[in-house]
Amino acid sequence: MGKRLVYLYYHLLPGFSNHPCISNHSRSGRGLQGYGYQFWRCRYNNYRGDGAFGQFCIVMPEQDAVLAITSGTTNIHGILDLVWEYLLPAMKDDALPSDK
C-alpha cells in the first residue's frame, strides 16, 4: 500500500483561493484565474502544476482525476485547450467497474 505524501484536502487550503497574478500567462487571460501553493488555477475548477518544457499535471477534483503529461513542448496552453475540448467532456460521473 502506498503512503500519502500530500494532505488530502491540500487543494482546499485558504491560501489557494483565486489570487490573480501578472505574468506571461496573463497576456492570454489564462493566468488571471489565479495562482497559489505552486499551482495555477485552470478552467472548470481545476488546477495544475507546471514543470519545464511541457512537464505538468492537471488536478480535476470534480472528476476525481489527475492527468500527468510529459512532453517536449512550449505550447502548454495548446495542450490544455485539447484537454478541455476532448478529454474533460468524455469523463463520466459514474465510477469505472471494479476489476475482476
Please write the tens of the pLDDT for every residue from 78-96: 999 999 999 999 998 887 7
**How far apart (Å, rounded) are the C-alpha atoms in residues 39 and 92?**
25
Each residue's pLDDT tens digit, 14-73: 445 554 444 444 445 555 555 556 778 888 888 888 888 888 899 998 888 999 999 888
Q: How many CB atoms lie within 10 A of CB 54?
A: 16
Residue whose C-alpha is closest to residue 57's, from 95, 11, 1, 15: 11
Distance, in Å, from the CA atom of 3 to the CA atom of 20, rounded to the nearest integer, reads: 33
Is the pTM higher than 0.85? The answer reads no
